[in-house]
């Protein structure tokens, strides 16, 4: 795929498969989910390859590493500025494409140079609120 060329990493079949799986993916998959899926096509795939690729992509700003799930890292191929709505029961994550104008008041900034922000909304998704 031509569109992946500009990322600036060496393209390999494994990496293309990972990129294809991520492209347009709205499920914020974990390394394990990526591995499970991609290793269907590449049964010899190693976990290290998944992590290496994800790290390389994150470094270049092509994906975001989410620190939302206490148990594992999750990755988001959508690098536009956006926020998340998380079901505290099933851990499903939905995107919230709204821009919030947020600034840290000087008194709390403590000399920090603020570079970004992320809003996590918590709630219960319809599916979970139904079953009990």
Partner DNA sequence: TGCTTGACAAGAACTATTCTAATGTGATAT
Partner DNA sequence: ATATCACATTAGAATAGTTCTTGTCAAGCA
Catalog residues that contact DNA under the rule CB under 7 A.
9-15, 30-32, 42, 44-49, 51-53, 55-56, 71-73
Q: Does 67 bind a second copy (CB under 8 A)?
A: yes
Q: Does 129 bind a second copy (CB under 8 A)?
A: yes
Query: Which residue has tokens 């206490």?
Result: 70
Spatial separation of the C-alpha atoms in residues 8 and 107, rounded to whole Å: 41
Nearest distance, CB of residue 116 and a second copy, angstroms: 5
Q: What is the CA radius of gyration of the chain?
A: 17
Only one of the segments 11-19, 24-32, 41-49, 65-73 lies at the binding site for a second copy (rule: CB under 8 A); that segment is 65-73
Q: Does 132 bind a second copy (CB under 8 A)?
A: no
* Ramachandran quadrant class, 97 (left: phi over 0; alpha: psi -120 to 50; beta: rest): beta
Which 3 state secondary structure label does DSSP give 57? helix
Q: What is the DSSP string of 71-98?
A: SS-EEES--SS-EEEEETTT--EEEE--
Return the number of the residue (53 or 62) whose C-beta is nearest DNA: 53
Q: Does 79 bind a second copy (CB under 8 A)?
A: no
Nearest distance, CB of residue 48 and DNA, angstroms: 3
């Amino acid at each position: 795929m031509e569109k992946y060329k500009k990322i600036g990493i060496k393209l390999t079949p494994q990496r293309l498969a990972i990129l294809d799986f991520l492209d347009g993916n709205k499920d914020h998959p974990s390394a394990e989910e990526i591995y499970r899926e991609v290793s269907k096509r590449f049964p010899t795939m190693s976990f290290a390859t998944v992590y290496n690729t994800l790290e390389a992509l994150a470094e270049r700003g092509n994906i975001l590493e989410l620190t939302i799930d206490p148990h594992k890292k999750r990755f988001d191929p959508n690098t536009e500025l956006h926020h998340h709505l998380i079901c505290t029961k099933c851990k499903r994550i939905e995107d919230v494409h709204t821009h919030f104008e947020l600034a840290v008041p000087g008194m709390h900034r403590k000399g920090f140079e603020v570079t970004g922000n992320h809003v996590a909304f918590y709630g219960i998704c319809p599916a979970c609120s139904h079953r009990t």
